[in-house]
Amino acid sequence: MDAQTLTFIFVGLSFALYIGIAIWSRAGSTSEFYVAGGHVHPIANGMATAADWMSAASFISMAGIIAFAGYDASVYLMGWTGGYVLLALLLAPYLRKFGQFTVPDFIGERYYSKAARVVAVICLIVVSFTYIAGQMRGVGVVFSRFLDMPIQWGVVTGMGVVFFYAVLGGMKGITYTQVAQYCVLIFAYLVPAVFISMLVTGNPIPQLGLGADAAEAGVPVLEKLDAALVDLGFAAFTEGTKSKIDIFAITLALMVGTAGLPHVIVRFFTVPKVSDARKSAGYALAFIAILYTTAPAVGAFARLNFIESVHEKSYAEAPGWVKGWEGIGLIAWLDKNGDGVIQYGPGAPFEGRPDYADGTGAHGERRLNNAPTANGNEIHVDRDIMVLANPEIAKLPGWVIALVAAGGVAAALSTAAGLLLVISTAISHDLLKKTFRPQITEKTELRAARGAAAAAILVAGYLGINPPGFVAQVVALAFGLAAASLFPAILMGIFFKRINREGAVAGMVAGLVFTLAYIVYFKSPWFGAVNDADHWLFGISPEGIGVIGMALNFILAVAVSRYTAPTPVAVRAMVDDIRMPSSVKEPGL
């Protein structure tokens, strides 16, 4: 049975499982739709949280970033995992103890203001839609390559599946679906990693294989990879090129951004007790660590295998996976010297984005229309393909290729569902019920939540099919926005009684506007800004600028609060109550 048939079977079975779970766990109340009734076991919630957070960026992109950025990519490992420690210690138990459904709920009540609630909803929607565009695009890429359909139809198929179990089951359906998706994605990530580690080093444990000797070379894998990259003109894999200030800024932005992501925070409202929220964060960190400790090995093995498979190989005799990914525009070859041999080196091989023409070149290449650049590199490879292509590069069995495809879809859909739910909840609960139409019944609110989820899926699908260029290029955009807007308001709401509604609103607006403007200016094609360290503020890249936005948020919130009316006594008492030890009070929902 060929790999494509197996992929149809594996992905089809996983879809059937997700839909079956959604039918079994259909939400019958707003409590079940928003927070699964608050009865999810901490272990199950830890798995669901891990799946919710380990998106297509983690499953598909992160190892690719590591493969091509090497040491510099450590910021993603440190930032994203460190954020969970921050979340477990500073936010999760207190937010759960507050006993509300959503992040805007907390901000609206804590800052005694409908305006603060509305601003929080706007921040949440901007962050969530930014994040979700990449998830839907990831679904389209997986389907396009492995199920032989256009990217847009892959996105539409993913929309249909998410629509069914997110709209029908709400948080209750999503939670148990995400438990299944975690099992699928982690198994799909580990199996090829073990295979490839065995092939490259003879060691079945990827984490140990990364430090072992390459099987044939007799030298450590990292030493062999460093030598290969340096010979080609790249920086060594184990050497960093980023400045210390930028590494610090990106890592911190990713950490506090993780702790401020609304679709992650809402997961801690689904457990029965405050203590369970902290346990859930611990379990989630353990489940996430399984993938994150494997990713560096996957990235290093992928880069080494890619070089050995492609560089100075005849295009006519290139492996099938090269032409397969070339067919959907994620690999491109431009034969600059007319010898029919692929040359791989630093720099972009041609001007602009990949631009395919009908027909073939002199040696069969499809890369025809862009002018060549003045360097020796002839091949463009999208870093997002490395995990998906790894089994093909290593010539693993077809069932492993199919398993990775199912895992990639599971990773993208799990996060997309969580994001869609927080968007729909923000619209139906925070805007409709708590702000504009407080008199509506629970039944009407539930219908509005499902309608908002359906509308959000349509918008997400459009963004997946037509992603804004700057969103696709900025891995840390959603994290930076969350760090600059929501995280300070939540943290100060828990630990600083003096921060009032005027300060919170001013801080959130300033942090969001500054960070978004900076990223758009440097990353979008609209301004033509030069995106290099010489032009960045304090030498901080757009990926790390959320730290400055966060600092601006804190400073403005404190300053405005100092010169405006003090926080009401009742709100101060509520903050004290939230911070009361859990043994004194363990509220349910």
Rounded percentage of the chain residues whose pLDDT exceeds 90: 12
Sorting pLDDT into bands at 50, 70 and 90, what band is 212?
confident
For residues 548 and 483, what is the distance between their CA atoms, to the nearest angstrom? Answer: 9
More confident residue, 584 or 134: 134
Residue 589 pLDDT greater than 60, yes or no: no
Dihedral of CA atoms 520, 525, 531, 537 in degrees, nearest 10, equals -30
Work out the average pLDDT over 73-96.
81
Residue 564 pLDDT greater than 70, yes or no: yes
For residues 48 and 182, what is the distance between their CA atoms, to the nearest angstrom? Answer: 7
Weakest mean pLDDT among 328-332, 494-498, 512-516: 328-332
Work out the average pLDDT over 66-72.
86
For residues 95 and 81, what is the distance between their CA atoms, to the nearest angstrom? Answer: 20
- Give the residue range(s) of CATH 1.20.1730.10 domains in the chain: 3-302+397-578
* pLDDT tens column, 336-383: 888 888 888 888 887 766 665 554 556 666 655 667 788 888 888 877
**Gyration radius of the chain's alpha carbons:** 24
Residue 587 pLDDT greater than 50, yes or no: no
Weakest mean pLDDT among 84-93, 122-131, 191-200: 84-93
Burial of residue 426 (CB within 10 Å: 0-12, 13-18, 19+) is buried
Q: Looking at residue 489, what is its pLDDT?
A: 92
Q: Which superfamily, per CATH, for 3-302+397-578?
A: Sodium/glucose cotransporter (1.20.1730.10)
More confident residue, 196 or 372: 196
Residue 514 pLDDT greater than 80, yes or no: yes
Work out the average pLDDT over 214-229.
84
Q: Looking at residue 492, what is its pLDDT?
A: 93
Over the chain, what is the mean pLDDT? Answer: 80
Q: Looking at residue 9, what is its pLDDT?
A: 85
For residues 52 and 584, what is the distance between their CA atoms, to the nearest angstrom? Answer: 31
Per-residue DSSP letter, 507:
H
Residue 471 pLDDT greater than 50, yes or no: no
Sorting pLDDT into bands at 50, 70 and 90, what band is 567?
very high
**Cβ-contact 295, 63 below 8 angstroms:** yes
Q: Which two tokens stand for residue 530?
A: 């030069």
Q: Looking at residue 507, what is its pLDDT?
A: 95
Q: Looking at residue 526, what is its pLDDT?
A: 72
Q: Looking at residue 52, what is its pLDDT?
A: 75
**Cβ-contact 50, 185 below 8 angstroms:** no
Per-residue DSSP letter, 266:
G
State the DSSP H helix or E strand holding residue 333, giving kind and residue range, or none if neither.
strand 331-333
Cβ contacts of 272 within 8 Å, gap of 6 or more: 38, 39, 40, 588
**Cβ-contact 393, 309 below 8 angstroms:** yes
Please count the other Cβ atoms lying within 10 Å of the Cβ belonging to residue 194. Answer: 18
Of the ranges 38-47, 262-271, 286-295, which is most confident?
286-295
Weakest mean pLDDT among 107-111, 407-411, 573-577: 407-411
Weakest mean pLDDT among 52-61, 76-85, 229-238, 311-320: 52-61
Half-sphere exposure of 113 (CA within 13 A, CB side): 21
Q: Looking at residue 445, what is its pLDDT?
A: 77
Please count the other Cβ atoms lying within 10 Å of the Cβ belonging to residue 126. Answer: 18
* pLDDT tens column, 116-140: 989 988 888 888 877 777 677 777 7
| CA–CA distances in Å: residue 70 to residues 277, 303, 304, 462, 539 | 35, 10, 12, 33, 20
For residues 156 and 461, what is the distance between their CA atoms, to the nearest angstrom? Answer: 7
Sorting pLDDT into bands at 50, 70 and 90, what band is 470?
very low
**Cβ-contact 268, 90 below 8 angstroms:** no
Residue 430 pLDDT greater than 80, yes or no: no
Nearest Cα to Cα of residue 508 among 46, 123, 41: 123
More confident residue, 207 or 320: 207
| CA–CA distances in Å: residue 545 to residues 303, 429, 513, 522, 586 | 29, 31, 12, 11, 38
For residues 295 and 59, what is the distance between their CA atoms, to the nearest angstrom? Answer: 9
Q: Looking at residue 369, what is its pLDDT?
A: 64
